[in-house]
Chains A and B, each alone.
Chain A
Amino acid sequence: MAAVSPDGLRYPPAVQLLTPEGERVSHPDYSIDLSETDLRGLYRDMVLVRRIDAEATALQRQGELGLWASCLGQEAAQVGSGRALRADDYAFPTYRDHGVTWSRGISPLEMLAMYRGVTNGGWNPTEKRCALATIVIGNQALHAVGYAMGVQLDGADVATIAYFGDGATAEGDVNEAFVFAAVYNAPVVFFCQNNQWAISQPRDRQSRVPIYERAAGFGFPGVQVDGNDIVAVMAVTRAALDRARNGDGPTLIEAFTYRMSAHTTSDDPTRYRHADELEVWRLRDPIERLKVHLARQGMADRNFFDQVDREAEDLAVHVREGARAMPEPAGETMFDNVYAEPHALLDQQRAALVEFEASFADEVHT
């Protein structure tokens, strides 16, 4: 039964293949064959990502991280699309997309490093085929299009995927990315996680029509998928990536989901949203529905679930200890890699900083 929320949005969205009750349903345009192993793998991914996310939130509370942006509730959107990518495809994530970076083989400690404040990066983008997490809203959408244009020039069999939120759809950069992608018929997938909120602003502050509908105006297809249904997300994303690789151009995917947590650890959502919204979305939890499905279909038993939980706990310990043990960067590292070529002024400033700080080496400062 489709429920209409106060802002006129329907649930479930157009494409759903796994209901919140764990029922597999079919769709005329999208189907996907996932083996038992695939589904168990996706379940494991989501549980581990959620555990990393919870641990990072706890570490922030303990002062070990400066900030954390939680992906709670969005695991299916992120892992489902991230796992739809081929090894050669290239992802352009935001600060919240830990399920995407996980899918690209980025380790939890690499994810946490930026939030601990030891780096503004975290991983090797070229090796992981995954750009650094972009904080400035919308910037990366253009990068994904540009990379896709390069792929096209090379005649390579690669697609890119740009991640952004509902709020980002208001930014010029995202709209310009749509224009460029359409004009150059670039092999890019725009993956918008509509988690209903941009900090305190509800989705209707950014768009008066469902986000996926905007694609038509730019000249490429848009599709709305149940972002909490990992099977549907994977099916829709795979289709869009194939389409891009086949030379048929961009697609906008709107993954309809919900930010179950605060915007970041600095945010207090009780100031702007009602708890009953959360209750509604709790029933649509992405992990629970896959779990029910696996259990009902006899694809996984108690043993499997327990084993994944144990793995998650071990991972949490690893994350906790690893975060605390991250080496403190020395002050002079701020001069590293500002330029690729030698730079006399910075060499001078670095030497001055080192000398100045060394002059205090014997003193105790408070």
Chain B
Amino acid sequence: MTTMTMAKALNVGLRRAMESDSRVLLFGEDIGRLGGVFRITDGLQKDFGEHRVMDAPLAESGIVGTAVGLAMRGYRPVVEIQFDGFVYPAFDQIVSQVAKLHRRSEGMLAMPIVIRIPFGGGIGAVEHHSESPEAYFAHTAGLRVLSPSDPQAAYLTIQQAIACQDPVVYFEPKRRYWDKGDVDEAVDALDPSQAPDPWRARIVRRGSDVTVACYGPMVRTCLEAATASADASIEVVDLQSLSPLDIDTLAESVERTGRLVVVHEAAGSLGLGAEVAARITERCFFALEAPVLRVTGYDVPYPPSRVEEHFLPGLDRVLDAVDRAMEY
């Protein structure tokens, strides 16, 4: 076990992936000499060379579009989008091509591309640097969507995403980059007997009264809420895989607790919470003692940083929803 930040865990995970497969390439703005604005690729260009860690021209559609061609040539591009709000120039390539080419080619072309996106708010940034656009991608058939919540999960899932034959949009909770945790580097991420299945939700805290489902940056918030909760015993489920959703694990939890609160930073309307609520209602209707409640960002553009604390779900809002669920 080594204690490291999530940023470092991602860095080490990328390094492992590059060591074990020479076809893995890193591609993005400022990822080379600078090591990325968050330093996730720090030192990798120095060790693997400019041909495997490439500083790309400032053009996101160009980065993802050429990654498609590289994938067709047998490479496994791992592209970095500098911030959540800058993925949109690449949206067309991701949705129209990356997501569809396996299907359109009747399975003859694979798109093993990983699109890494630091996402979410809470870092006091200017506009376009704090968004949570995951629902757009989870809504798009053909894409898988992952979001790790701690260093160990980051270390493993980044390698698993790279090894996956499907395209993966990989959302890194930027405000948790500097959180530390234990990472077992001895675990072989690609050996299913050693590493957990990345597409499964994780029960990260046991409880008996209410299940709180969350992912990415909100996992820590919900764990803190569970610790702070005086009245209710809260079970926290880290969804981790946003597409496909592991409803089985969540349903099993809700069958026990009878209550579900879904928490995410992204706006509520048509967010992940809506999908989770619908599926759990379908599956667990008779086990539910309260309607599925959501704690989310409001349906507004991400606000200026001096207002963001009002926008972001925090302990109080999570606990309030738990109370409301308990009162039914």
Contacts and interface: CB of A to CB of B under 8 A. Distances in A.
A332 B303 CA distance: 10
25 contacts: A66-B125, A66-B305, A114-B126, A114-B127, A117-B306, A118-B306, A136-B85, A167-B58, A170-B62, A172-B62, A198-B58, A199-B37, A200-B34, A200-B55, A201-B29, A201-B55, A267-B37, A330-B307, A331-B310, A331-B311, A345-B299, A346-B298, A349-B299, A353-B298, A356-B316
Given A172-B89, A200-B33, A271-B33, A334 B311 contact: yes
Given A135-B85, A198-B58, 12 more contacts: A120-B126, A120-B303, A137-B58, A168-B58, A170-B62, A198-B29, A199-B30, A201-B29, A201-B55, A266-B37, A271-B34, A331-B310
B307 A334 contact: yes
Interface in B284-318: 298-301, 303-311, 316-317
Nearest to B82: A199
Closest 8 CB pairs of A and B: A331-B310, A117-B305, A200-B34, A170-B57, A334-B303, A167-B58, A117-B306, A170-B59
A66 B126 CA distance: 7
B61 to A, nearest CB: 5
Contacts of A117: 124, 126, 304-308
Nearest to A113: B304
A172 B61 CA distance: 7
A173 B269 CA distance: 29
Interface string A330-350: 111111001000000110010
A273 B217 CA distance: 34
Nearest to B304: A117
Nearest to A363: B316
A116 interface: yes
Contacts, number: 121
A255 interface: no
B33 A272 contact: yes
Contacts of B283: none
Interface string A156-200: 000000000001101111000000000000000000000000111
Interface residues of A, number: 46
Nearest to B269: A345
A168 B57 CA distance: 9
A234 interface: no
Contacts of A331: 307, 309-311
Interface in A243-294: 266-267, 271-272
Contacts of B56: 205
A67 interface: yes
A59 to B, nearest CB: 14
A95 B128 CA distance: 12
Interface in B116-131: 124-128
B57 A329 contact: no
A356 B314 CA distance: 12
Contact of A135 (B126, B269, B308): B126
Interface of A: 66-67, 95, 114-120, 135-137, 167-168, 170-173, 198-201, 205-206, 266-267, 271-272, 328-335, 338, 345-346, 349, 353, 356-357, 360, 365
A199 B28 CA distance: 13
A115 B304 CA distance: 9
B35 interface: yes
B86 interface: yes
A118 B29 CA distance: 29
Contacts of A329: 304, 306-307
Given A116-B306, A117-B304, A345-B269, A205 B299 contact: no
A334 B301 CA distance: 8
B320 interface: yes
B320 A356 contact: yes
B85 to A, nearest CB: 7
Contacts of A199: 29-30, 34, 37
Given A115-B126, A116-B306, A334 B30 contact: no
Contacts of B35: 271
Contacts of B37: 199, 266-267
Contacts of B30: 199-201
Contact of A335 (B34, B57, B89, B298): B298
A93 B37 CA distance: 23
A137 B85 CA distance: 11
Nearest to B63: A170
